[in-house]
Amino acid sequence: MTRRLSQARERGIPEATVARLPLYLRALNGMAERGVSTVSSEDLAVAAGVNSAKLRKDLSHLGSYGTRGVGYDVEYLIYQISRELGLTQDWAVAIIGVGNLGRALANYGGFVSRGFRVAALFDADPEVVGDHIAGLNVEHIDELEAVIRRRDVSIVVIATPAAAAQQVCDRVISAGVTSILNFAPVVLSVSDDVDVRKVDLSIELQILAFHEQRKADRMSGGPVMAEEWPKSVDLSISPDVLGSLGSVPSVRPTDDGEAR
């Protein structure tokens, strides 16, 4: 049995599983607060919004922490998941770009709790540098490398305008950071020892719009399977197609939805 456990933890928890562990953790914390001490995969799955077989398989990647016929011990699971996610240490986070979004993030409560600590704020605008936000001084971006090293920042949140993001990204990487959460609407190019995760408002909205449109089609149009496009079978783009494109309030202009 020890055999199987070490095998399980050995190398590599599937990425899909890693992405769900925080959900389980949150659900478990809620239960712990409500005084629940034991939970079945079924109940925990419901609380986390997943299928219970999936939950069991996910947990089995961490080890065999349940008790057959009983369920999982809430506190113990919390500890194991926290440990696996690296939340038993705390991580110094820097936020770069203190515009609307950066400010909101700095003040965001759920940040500070749970193993993350905002350790530095940066901006390029002399107007903002020196401001006091969420108990922190906004530093000038020139200090980036020095401060990151000094305060041992290991995770950086990029909340700059799109145009600045790649440059900022390169600089934090050269300062030794390998984990980046990017709010700017650009694809950052990095070498593959660097982890980038991206949060992108307009992409999420566009995905919703796609499905919303589908639903609308299904209602009115029914399964009509309407004609393909405005008939211009060859590639030449007839002026009126582009015209109709232009007349839509903003199909193309300024994608650079600034992240600040």
Binding-site residue set for NAD(+): 97-102
Sheet architecture: strand order including 132-133 = 132-133, 136-140, 116-123, 91-96, 155-158, 179-182, 195-198
Residue 59 binding DNA, by CB under 7 A: yes
Contacts of 116 (CB under 8 A, 6+ apart): 90, 91, 93, 155
x-marked contacts with a copy of itself along 194-233 as a string, rule CB under 8 A = -x-x-xxxxxxxxxxxxxxx-x---------x--xx---x
Binding region for DNA (CB under 7 A) out of 66-74, 169-177, 181-189, 223-231 = 66-74
Residue 37 binding DNA, by CB under 7 A: no
- Single out the residue of 68, 211, 231, 252 in contact with DNA (rule: CB under 7 A): 68
Q: Work out what residue 53 binds among DNA, a copy of itself, none; the CB cut-off runs from 5 to 8 Å by kind.
A: DNA
- Residues in region 83-142 near a copy of itself by CB under 8 A: 83-91, 93, 100-101, 103-105, 107-117
- Residues in region 152-191 near a copy of itself by CB under 8 A: 154-155, 178-181, 185, 187, 189
Q: Work out what residue 84 binds among a copy of itself, DNA, none; the CB cut-off runs from 5 to 8 Å by kind.
A: a copy of itself
Rg of the Cα trace of the chain?
24
Phi, psi angles (nearest 5°) of residue 133: -125, 125
Residues in the chain: 260
Residue 8 binding DNA, by CB under 7 A: yes
User: Helix, strand or coil for residue 96?
Assistant: strand
Please give the structure tokens belonging to residue 72: 């999982």
- Distances, alpha carbon 199 to alpha carbons 73, 101, 118, 138, 181, in Å: 33, 12, 18, 23, 7
Whether the Cβ atoms of residue 133 and residue 70 lie closer than 8 Å to each other:
no
Residue 65 binding DNA, by CB under 7 A: yes
- Residues in region 133-162 near DNA by CB under 7 A: none
